Amino acid sequence: MLRVVIIDGIAMSRNLLGTILTNGGHEVVGDSNTGAAGLARMIKLRPQIVCIDIGHEEDGGMALLDAVRGELPKSLVFMVSGKMSPENVHGALQRGVHGFIVKPFNADTVLTTIRNAILKLAREQKIKTEG
């Protein structure tokens, strides 16, 4: 069971994503409706998974992603959005985002996205230790 923090400006989205993740075997240890409060919560709780809806952030959330990557370099970070511009996708990938969760949520797709990122990271770590 991995610990998760969710940042999303819409309470219903936070709750729905939290339910999907909990039903998928993860533990939602915190959530927030703003990037600043969410970052403080993440630093305190040290989750293994961070889900961030960066659509409501002024710069597309890139400053928040930079802060999260700086504070929690080992956490898996997922960008959550109902609309993903090519600029945001490119910027998120440059900042080490592990995957994208698209609204409206589909439980199977959300859990598969996270599972695939976990498996990819495990393969990369295995290659590093063997190589």
In tens, the pLDDT along 8-56 reads 999 999 999 999 999 999 999 999 999 889 999 999 999 999 999 977 6
Q: Cα(18)–Cα(51) distance, rounded to whole angstroms?
A: 10
CATH placement of domain 3-130: 3.40.50.2300
Three-state DSSP class for residue 72: coil
Three-state DSSP class for residue 82: coil
Q: Cα(113)–Cα(40) distance, rounded to whole angstroms?
A: 26
| Cis peptide preceding 73, ω within 30 of 0 | no
Q: Taking the C-alpha atoms of 31, 37, 40 and 46 in order, what is their torsion angle to the nearest 10 degrees?
A: 10
Which pLDDT value is given to residue 104? 95
Cβ atoms of 17 and 105 within 8 Å: the answer is: yes
Could you tell me the pTM of the whole model?
Answer: 0.92
